[in-house]
């Protein structure tokens, strides 16, 4: 099951957490809501690029998508940098 716990329409850093096993996927997008919808569609179509996430989804694990950090549109150049910081914090 994929559950979107945010509807942020702008830029930001997001996470998808597997609440069954504690794994995290951290990403960034200029349009978070649209990107999370793309994740959901890929998972439902069994075509997600993260094989671990796809395997967990197929096994019936609960995936919860949350917004970690909203960013203004003008900060879109900083998305990858902020994403890397969030990943490093999680490791």
pLDDT at 78 over 60: yes
pLDDT at 91 over 70: no
Q: Which tokens hold the place of 54?
A: 């796809």
Q: Which tokens hold the place of 45?
A: 């179509």
Q: Which tokens hold the place of 88?
A: 């490093």
* Residue 84: per-residue pLDDT: 82
Dump pLDDT digits (tens) for 12-65.
999 999 999 999 999 999 899 999 999 999 999 999 999 999 999 999 999 999
Beta strands 11-18; 63-71: pairing state: antiparallel
Task: Tell me if 17 sits within 8 A of 36, measured CB to CB.
Answer: no
Task: Report which of residues 85 and 47 the model is more confident about.
Answer: 47
Angstrom distance (rounded) from CA 2 to CA 66 = 11
Beta strands 11-18; 2-4: pairing state: unpaired
């Amino acid at each position: 099951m994929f559950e979107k716990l945010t509807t942020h329409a702008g830029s930001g850093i997001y996470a998808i957490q597997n609440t069954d096993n504690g794994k995290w996927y951290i990403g960034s997008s200029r349009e978070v809501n649209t990107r999370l919808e793309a994740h959901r569609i890929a998972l439902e179509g069994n075509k997600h690029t993260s094989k671990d996430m796809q395997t967990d989804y197929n096994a019936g694990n609960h995936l919860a998508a949350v917004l970690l950090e909203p960013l203004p549109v003008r900060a879109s150049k900083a998305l990858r940098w902020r994403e890397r910081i969030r990943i490093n914090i999680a490791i």
